[in-house]
Chains A and B, each alone.
Chain A
Amino acid sequence: MKQTQDSEDLIERYLLGELSVAERTALENEYLVDKAKYDQVCGIEDDLLYRYARGALSPADRERIERQYLTNPWRRRHLEFAKALAQVIDGEMATRSAAKRTTDVSWRSQLGALPRGLRIVLRLMPAVAALVVISGGTWLAIETSRLRVMLREARHEVVAQQQRAQTQARKITELETQYRMLTEEHESLLAQLQAAQKTESWRLAPVFLTISVEAFRSPGAQGTQPMVIPRGAIGARLRLNLPENAFPSYRVTLITEDGREAFRKNGLKPRADKAGDFVIVNLPANKLTNGENVLSLSGISPKGEAEPLGKSILKVRRR
C-alpha cells in the first residue's frame, strides 16, 4: 500500500516538474515502454486536474499545479477542460437528483389527495404486487424448466434423426455405388459374352452343303459349287439327298486328294422332310483339305453289308 502511495507521489511530483533528472528519466523510460505505467501516469494526472477543478486541493497544491499547467497553453487546455468537465458533470448530477426528487414528491402528493379507502388499497398494492410477482415467478420457473426439458428432448430427437438420416444416406450411397459397379460389370460381361458369342458363332458355324445322290451315281461328278470353309470353322454339315431311299442306314467316307481316308461315318439314319429323304453328315472341318476331296456314299443293308452307291468330288476352299 505504502509502495503504491510512494509511486503515486512520485508520479505527481513528475507531473509537477519536481523530480530530479535521474528520477524523471527512469520514470519516462518506464512509462514509454510499459502501457500499464503510462495509464497510471495518465490516471494520476486526470485525478489531479479533476481535484483542482473541483477545488479539492490545498492552496499550496493548487499553486504547484498552476505553475506547471497555466504557463503552458497545451497543458492549460487540459486544466480548463477539467474545470468544464467538473461543471458539466455536477450540473448533470444536480439535474438528475432534482428530477428524482420531483418524481418522488409528485407521487406522494398525488397519493395524499386520494380518498382514505383508496389510499389503503394503494398502500397494499406493493404487497399484492409482490405476491403476484412471486407466484408468477414460481410458475415461470416451473414452466421454464419444463420447456427446457422438452427442448432438450427435442434437440436429442433431432440429433438422432439427423444421425439416422445420415446413416441411411450413407447406405443409399453405398448401394448406389454397388449397383453402379454391378451394372458396369454386367454390361462388361454382356459385351464380352456378345463378343464371345459372335466369335464362337462364327467359329463354330457349320458349313452346310447339300449334295444330291445323283452326284454320287455319275463317277467323277463334281458338286455344284465349292465348299468354302471359313477360318476358325470347326465343322461342316452335309445334307445328302436320297431320292431312292432303299437302305436302313448309310455310310459316308471322305478320301483326300492324295487317296488317304480322312473320315468315315457309319450308321447314318435317313430322315425325311418335304423335300424328300436325306442323311446328314457332320464332318470335322479339319478333315477337309484344300482342293478336291472325294466323298463316297454306301448303303448298309439290314444284314450289315455295304453297297457302294457312288463317289462325288467335293471341292474345298479354305480361308
Chain B
Amino acid sequence: MEIVSLPEKERERELTPKAFTKLLAKLSTDPEIAGGEYEELRRRLIKFFEWRGSLFPEDLADETLNRTARKIDGDEEIEKNVIALALGVAHFVFLETSKRPDYRRVSLEDLIPVAAPPEHRLEDDELRVAYLRECLRSLPKESRELIIEYYREEGRAKIEDRKVLAEKLGISLNALFSRAKRIRDRLELCVTRRLNRKLGGALVQRPPARKAPRPDGDPQ
C-alpha cells in the first residue's frame, strides 16, 4: 500500500509585476483579452496537472506560469507562442515535482506513524448537498434552470434533451456545454468554499498563491 506525502510549499522566485505584464502582453495586446487568456491558460494548466495526478495542481500551474513569465522577461529569444512555451514548462515542472522527495510515493512502512486523518463522514455529504442547494438557489434563474435541464437525464435521453435545450436557447451544443461547465464550476467552487469555512479547509485545496487578474464571480 502507498500513500502520498504532501510537498512543502516551495517557490523559486515570486513573479515580478514586470514579468507578469510581459506575459500578458504576449497573450494579447488588449489587456482585457489578455486577462481572460491568462485565466483560460491557468485553468487548462490546473486541469493538466490534475489529470496527471498532482496533489496541488493550482500551485504547479502557478509555478508554470511564473517560470514562463520569467523566460519571457529574460533575454532569451522566445520563438514559440506562449501556450506552447507554457506547455513545455509544465512538462518540466511536473517531472521536476515528481522527483522531489516531498512529493514521491513511499511505502507505508517507511512513514512515521501520525494521527489518522478524519474519516469520510456521512454528515459531510449531507452538508455538501445542503450547500449545493443554497449555491443553486443563489444563481440567477436562467443559470439555475440551465444547469437543472442540462443534468436531468442520462444516456440517449440526455443527448436528445441537450439538443432540444441548445435549440431552445438558440446556441450550439458546444456553447451549451461551455455555459453548463461554467455554471457547474462556479457551483463547485461555491460549495468548496462553504465547506472550507465550515470544516476548516480539511477537504480542499490550498488557497491560490497569486490573485488572478480577473477574479471569478462565483456565488458565495
Within the complex, which residue of B83, B136, B181 is in contact with A46, where a contact is CB–CB below 8 Å? B181
Bound Cα distance A80, B192 (Å)? 11
Q: Give which listed residue, B45, B152, B205, contacts A89 with CB less than 8 A.
A: B152
Closest Cβ of chain A: how far from B9's Cβ, in Å? 16
**Is the beta-carbon distance between B181 and A39 smaller than 8 angstroms?**
yes
Q: Is A85 an interface residue (CB 8 A)?
A: yes
Q: How many angstroms between the C-alpha atoms of A31 and B44 in the bound complex?
A: 8
CA distance A84 to B129 in the complex (A): 5
CA distance A179 to B129 in the complex (A): 84
The answer to whether A74 and B188 touch (CB under 8 A), given A31-B44, A84-B128, is no
Name A residues whose Cβ lies closer than 8 Å to a Cβ of B: 14-15, 17, 25, 28-29, 31-33, 35-36, 38-39, 41-43, 46, 50-51, 54, 56, 68, 71-75, 77-78, 80-81, 83-89, 92-93
In the bound assembly, the distance between CA atoms of A75 and B51 in angstroms comes to 8
B191 and A84 contacting across the interface, CB-CB below 8 Å: yes
A33 to B81, CA, bound (A): 10
Expressed in whole angstroms, the minimum distance between the Cβ of A242 and any Cβ of chain B is: 108
Q: Whole-angstrom distance between the alpha carbons of A75 and B54 in the complex? A: 9
User: Does B73 sit within 8 A of A, measured CB to CB?
Assistant: no
Contacts A81-B128, A87-B129 given; does A74 touch B191 at CB 8 Å:
no
* Contact of B53 (CB < 8 Å), options: A38, A46, A72: A72
B184 touches A28 (CB 8 A): no
A93: chain B residues within 8 A (beta carbon)? 148, 152
* Known contacts A33-B84, A35-B40; A51 and B154 CB within 8 A of each other: yes
Q: How large is the interface on B (under 10, 10 to 19, 20 to 34, 35 or more residues)?
A: 35 or more
Interface of B is mostly: helix
Q: Name A78's closest neighbour in chain B (CB-CB).
A: B188
Q: Which residue of A lies closest to B45 (CB)?
A: A32
**CA distance in complex: A36, B175 (Å):** 10
Give the dominant DSSP class at A's interface: helix
B91 to chain A, nearest CB (A): 8
The contact string, 1 if C-beta is below 8 Å from chain A, for chain B 47-78, is: 11011011111000000000000000000000
Of A32, A43, A81, the contact of B44 (CB 8 Å cutoff): A32
Q: Could you tell me if A74 and B54 are in contact, using CB atoms closer than 8 angstroms?
A: yes
Known: A72-B55, A84-B191; 14 extra A-B contacts, CB below 8 A, are: A14-B51, A15-B51, A28-B87, A31-B44, A32-B83, A32-B90, A56-B155, A72-B53, A73-B205, A77-B205, A81-B132, A87-B129, A88-B133, A92-B148
Q: Give A67 Cβ to nearest chain B Cβ, in Å.
A: 11
Q: Which residues of B contact A29 (CB under 8 A)?
A: 87
Docked complex Cα distance between A80 and B155 (Å): 21
Q: Complex Cα distance A32/B181, Å?
A: 17
